[in-house]
């Protein structure tokens, strides 16, 4: 096996121009981990935040960006018996995905869903782990409930729409233009609100006849927080997973008491390998069959070569994409 690999280095951080291709040693393989030869890697918002210095990796994680990959098992760490060398897999990484090789705890590794290739499978882990744990584990979405996801045309948004619809919820979402409206309707959303032409609070109230929605998944924050509280039904739940707008805002919290609301949130990356392994097991049981039956599917917007990571980041920062932005790392 080779001893060095190509990877994308973001140095001390900054704008997308800081991204350069570099060479370095293969990652150290710890007990309970597998080494994956990376074929494709996904680009995600946390990568942008890490590059900007706003989302440092955990102390024990790779400093290289990249939270999801597909590829082939190249080596097994001590104690790993669930996979074999050469097996085709996808994985949720703790970091290190923008590289030819990455080491991953084996509990965060999943076989490719039958019928899906390397590209589509690399688009699964970050979004599906995030949506499953926040919408279904934390948000406790049930069939016949109503669900609003902001940023409906993002990778997270389209995943949330498809999964919530598959499990019997009525789905609302917000987007910024007509092309994204159509993409979300195609994914299964019942009500799509263009926030540039309509106020989502007013639209939710109109469609639900003032009742509100049971669950909201928000990655915006800022001014949306007050609107979310207004849009929730009695005993509603609001789950925060990111802040594209400021996290420090003035909010009237009275509705938390008067409507018995729950406001919670989480970040995925710092969670323990045991937590992530549990999410992986639930995905394999509940979601992998839906992927294999073609009831749901990742939406790929564009694929860049690894050395084009700068262009991939600029596209994500523009918010002009619909679905996933991917990097091709190896053949």
Mean pLDDT of successive 10-residue stretches along the chain, which has 331 residues: 92 96 96 98 97 91 97 97 97 97 98 98 98 98 98 97 98 97 98 97 98 98 98 98 95 97 95 96 98 97 98 97 97 89
The confidence score (pLDDT) of residue 53 equals 93
Q: 195 and 151 in contact (C-beta within 8 Å)?
A: no
The per-residue b/e assignment along 99-132, b for 16 or more CB within 10 angstroms, e otherwise, is: bbbbbbbbbbbbebbeebebbbbbbbbbbbbbbb
Alpha helix segments (H runs only) across the chain: 45-51, 118-122, 125-131, 155-166, 178-187, 200-207, 224-231, 254-258, 273-286, 288-292, 309-318
Taking the C-alpha atoms of residue 201 and residue 69, their distance in angstroms, rounded to an integer, is 37
Tokens of 79: 């104690």
Give CA angle at 281 (114, 57), nearest 5°.
105
The confidence score (pLDDT) of residue 45 equals 95
Give CA angle at 185 (215, 259), nearest 5°.
15
Q: Give this prediction's pTM.
A: 0.96
Q: What is the CATH number of domain 128-265?
A: 3.90.180.10
The confidence score (pLDDT) of residue 1 equals 72
Side-chain-side CA neighbours of residue 301 (13 Å): 21
The confidence score (pLDDT) of residue 4 equals 95
- Check for a shared fold between 4-124+269-328 and 128-265: yes
- Tell which phi-psi region holds residue 319, choosing left (phi > 0), alpha (psi between -120 and 50) or beta: left
Query: Per CATH, the architecture of 4-124+269-328 is what?
Result: Alpha-Beta Complex (3.90)
The per-residue b/e assignment along 245-265, b for 16 or more CB within 10 angstroms, e otherwise, is: eeeeeeeeeebbeeeebebeb
Sketch the domain layout of the chain as residue ranges.
Answer: 4-124+269-328, 128-265
Q: 62 and 102 in contact (C-beta within 8 Å)?
A: yes
The confidence score (pLDDT) of residue 3 equals 87
Q: How many other β-carbons are positioned within 10 Å of the β-carbon of residue 85? A: 11
């Amino acid at each position: 096996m080779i001893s060095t690999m190509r990877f994308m280095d973001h140095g001390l951080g900054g704008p997308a121009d800081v991204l350069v291709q570099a060479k370095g040693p293969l990652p150290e393989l710890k007990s309970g981990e597998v080494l994956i030869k990376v074929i494709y890697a996904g680009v995600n918002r946390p990568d942008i935040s890490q590059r900007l210095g706003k989302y440092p990796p955990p102390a024990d994680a790779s400093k290289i960006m990249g939270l999801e990959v597909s590829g082939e098992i190249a080596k097994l760490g001590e104690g790993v018996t669930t996979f074999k060398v050469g097996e085709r897999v996808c994985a949720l990484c703790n970091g290190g995905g923008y590289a030819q090789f990455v080491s991953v705890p084996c509990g965060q590794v999943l076989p490719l869903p039958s019928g899906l290739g390397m590209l589509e499978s690399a688009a699964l882990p970050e979004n599906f782990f995030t949506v499953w744990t926040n919408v279904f584990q934390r948000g406790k979405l049930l069939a016949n409930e109503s669900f609003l996801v902001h940023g409906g045309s993002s990778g997270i948004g389209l995943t949330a729409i498809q999964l919530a619809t598959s499990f019997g919820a009525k789905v609302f979402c917000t987007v910024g233009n007509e092309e994204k409206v159509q993409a979300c309707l195609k994914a299964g959303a019942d009500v799509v609100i263009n926030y540039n032409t309509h106020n989502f609070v007013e639209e939710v109230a109109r469609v639900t006849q003032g009742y509100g929605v049971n669950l909201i998944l928000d990655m915006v924050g800022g001014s949306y927080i007050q609107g979310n509280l207004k849009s929730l039904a009695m005993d509603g739940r609001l789950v925060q997973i990111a802040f594209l707008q400021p996290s420090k805002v003035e909010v009237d919290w009275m509705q938390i008491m008067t409507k018995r609301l729950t406001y919670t949130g989480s970040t995925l990356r710092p969670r323990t390998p045991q937590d992530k392994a549990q999410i992986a097991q639930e995905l394999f049981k509940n979601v992998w069959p839906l992927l294999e039956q073609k009831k749901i599917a990742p939406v790929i917007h564009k694929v860049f070569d690894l050395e084009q990571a700068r262009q991939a980041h600029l596209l994500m920062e523009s918010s002009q994409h619909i679905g996933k932005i991917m990097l091709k790392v190896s053949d």
